[in-house]
Amino acid sequence: MTKPIRFFLILLLAATSTLIAQSDDSLKIKSSYFEVNDFVEDNEACLKCHGEEKYLIEDPNSGRSITNHMCPDRTIDRDAFYSSVHKAFSCTDCHSYDFMTFPHPLEVRFEEHFMCLDCHGYDESFAQYHFEDIEMEFQKSIHNMEDFSCWKCHDPHSYKAFMRNAEDLTEAILYDNNMCLKCHANFSRFTLLTDREEINVVKSHEWLPNQTAHFKSVRCIECHTAISDSILIPHQIMPKADAVKRCTECHSRDSRLMHTLYKFQSKEERKGGFVNGVIMTDYFVIGANKSPFLDKLSFLILAGTLLGIAFHTFLRIRNKKTK
Ligand code: HEC
Ligand code: HEC
Ligand code: HEC
Ligand code: HEC
Ligand code: HEC
Ligand code: HEC
Ligand code: HEC
C-alpha cells in the first residue's frame, strides 16, 4: 500500500470510528439515546449483535453457544446512529421484523428498502433540501448504475446533514470526502458494484500539486460535479473527462468555489456587500481573494497620506496668514 492511500484510510477510519467493544453493557447504552429515541430497548435486540465486535450464537436445543466475530461491514456504531438524521428510528422502521430471528432467513435478505424520495419527496417540511432536484441530478450521475442508490453514500446508520450545519469547514470537507473514499479508497467495496479495475485516486490526481493540502481544503465534488444553483450540495457526478483540471477555475477572482464550497456562507457574506468574503477570512486562495490585512494596511497608508497632505496644507495656509 502506498503511503497516501494509507493516509486516506486513516482519515476514513477516524471519521467512521468503529466501535471498540466495552465489557460493561450499561456503559454502551447512554442516557442521551433515550432523549432522541423511543425504541432504544427494542433496538438493542439487534444491536446486541450488530453493535458489538463479537456476538453469541446459541442453540436452544442443545444449550450450547459459540462466540463469533461481527463483520465490521455489518457493525453499527450506537453513537453515530443516535446522532444521525434518523436518530429517532427503530431498526424495524426500515428493516423487516423477520430479522428478529437468527440465522436471518434468506427471503428477508432481498427486502426492498425505502428510498429517500419515498419519505421526503414533495414534502413541504423538507423543501429546503430540494430532494426532487437531487434525485434528478443523481439520475444523470455516472453512479446511476445497478445496485447504486442514495444509501451508498448516505450511510443509513450514521448520515448527518453535516455541511449545512458545519461550524468548521475543514471538518465538513473531511466528512464529505470520506463519503467518496468509502469506496474510492476501499477496493473491496468498489468491486461489489463493478468489474472495473481498481482506480488509484492518489495516482489519478498526481497532476494536482500538493494533493494533501488540496484534499483538505476542497471536496471531491468541487471538481467532479456540475455547478447547481438551486441545491446546496451538487449531486451530478460527471465522467472523469469533464472534471475540473484548470487551476484558474478556483484560483481566480470569480472562483467556482463561490458557487460550490463557499456557497452557503457566501450568500450570508454577500448580504454585507462582500464578494469572496469567506475565502478572505478563513482561506487564502491564490488570485481569488484579497488579503484583509493588506486591505487594511493600504487603507491606513492612503488615509495617512491624505491626512498628511491636509495637515501640510493647513500649515501652509496658516503660515501664509501670519506672514
Ligand atoms: C444473534 C446475533 C444477531 C441478531 C440478534 C441480529 N443479527 Fe443481523 N446479522 C447477524 C450476523 C452474524 C449477520 C451477518 C451474517 C449473515 O448475513 O447471516 C447479520 C446480517 C444482517 C443483515 C445483512 C443481511 C444481508 O444479507 O446482507 C441485516 C440487514 C441485519 N442483519 C439486520 C438485523 C436486524 C434489523 C436485527 C434486529 C431486528 C438483527 N439483524 C439482529 C447477527 C444478528
Ligand atoms: C432509515 C432507515 C434505516 C434504519 C433506521 C436502519 N437501517 Fe439498517 N439499513 C438500511 C438500508 C437502506 C440498508 C442497505 C444499505 C445499502 O444498500 O448499502 C441497511 C443495511 C443494514 C445492514 C447491512 C450492512 C450495511 O450496513 O449495509 C445491517 C446489519 C443493518 N442495516 C442493521 C440495522 C440495525 C441493527 C438498525 C437499528 C439500530 C438499522 N439497521 C436501522 C436502512 C436503515
Ligand atoms: C422511512 C422514511 C425515510 C427514509 C427512507 C429517509 N428518511 Fe430522512 N427522515 C425521515 C423522517 C421521518 C425524518 C425526521 C426525523 C426527525 O425529525 O426526527 C427525516 C430526517 C431527515 C433529515 C433531517 C431533516 C431536518 O431538517 O431535520 C435529512 C437531511 C434526511 N432525513 C435525509 C435523508 C436522506 C438523504 C435519505 C436517503 C438516503 C433519507 N433521509 C431517507 C424519514 C425518512
Ligand atoms: C456519490 C455520493 C452521493 C450520492 C449517490 C448521493 N448523495 Fe446526497 N450527499 C452527498 C454528499 C457528499 C452530501 C453532503 C453531506 C454533508 O456534509 O452535508 C450530500 C448531501 C445530501 C443532502 C443534504 C443537502 C443539504 O442541503 O443539506 C440531501 C438531502 C441528499 N444528499 C439527498 C440525496 C438523495 C435523495 C440521493 C439519491 C437520489 C443522494 N443524496 C445520493 C453525496 C451523495
Ligand atoms: C458505493 C461506492 C462508491 C461511492 C460511495 C462513490 N463512488 Fe465513485 N465510483 C464507484 C464505482 C463502482 C465507479 C465505477 C463506475 C463504472 O463502472 O464506470 C465509480 C466511478 C467514479 C468516477 C469515475 C468516472 C469515470 O469517468 O470513470 C468518479 C469521478 C467518481 N466515481 C467520483 C466519486 C465521488 C466524487 C464520490 C463522492 C461524492 C464517489 N465517487 C462516491 C463507486 C463509488
Ligand atoms: C482539483 C480538482 C479535483 C479534486 C479536488 C478531485 N478530483 Fe478526482 N479527478 C479530477 C480530474 C481532472 C480527473 C481526471 C484526471 C485525468 O483524466 O487525468 C479526476 C479523476 C478522478 C477519478 C477517475 C480516475 C481514473 O483513473 O479513472 C476518480 C475515481 C476520482 N477523480 C475521484 C476523486 C475523489 C474520490 C476525490 C476526493 C478525494 C477527487 N477525485 C478529488 C479532479 C479532481
Ligand atoms: C477545486 C478548486 C481548486 C483547483 C481546481 C485548484 N486549486 Fe489550488 N487550492 C485550492 C484551495 C481552496 C487552496 C487553499 C489550500 C489551503 O488551505 O492552504 C489551494 C491551494 C493551492 C496552493 C498552495 C498549497 C499550500 O501548500 O498551501 C497551490 C500551490 C495551488 N493551490 C496550486 C494549484 C494548481 C497549480 C492547480 C492546477 C493544477 C490548482 N491549485 C487547482 C483550490 C483549488
Q: Where are the domains of the chain?
A: 1-112
Nearest to 94 by CA among 151, 152, 52, 162: 151
Contacts (Cβ under 8 Å, ≥6 apart) of 299: none
Q: How far is the CA of 5 from the centre of ligand 4 (A)?
A: 24
Q: What is the pLDDT of residue 27?
A: 75
Supply the pTM of this predicted model: 0.88
In tens, the pLDDT along 107-124 reads 999 999 999 999 999 999
CA quadruple 232, 285, 207, 188: dihedral sign: negative
Q: Is 109 in the pocket of ligand 1 (CB under 6 A)?
A: yes
**Region class of 225: left (phi > 0), else alpha (psi between -120 and 50), else beta:** beta
Contact 224, 238 (CB under 8 A): yes
Of 260, 182, 162, 238, the closest CA to residue 12 belongs to 182
Residue nearest to atom 6 of ligand 4 (CA): 150
Probe ligand 1: pick from 41, 44, 46, max atoms within 8 Å of CB?
A: 46
Tell which wins on pLDDT, 166 or 175: 175
Mean pLDDT of the chain: 84
| Residues 6 or more apart in contact with residue 27 via CB below 8 angstroms | none
For cell 500539486, name the residue. 209
Give the three cell numbers for residue 265.
Answer: 456562507
| % of the chain at pLDDT higher than 90 | 66
Average pLDDT over residues 248-265: 85
> 117: burial class by Cβ within 10 Å (0-12, 13-18, 19+)?
middle
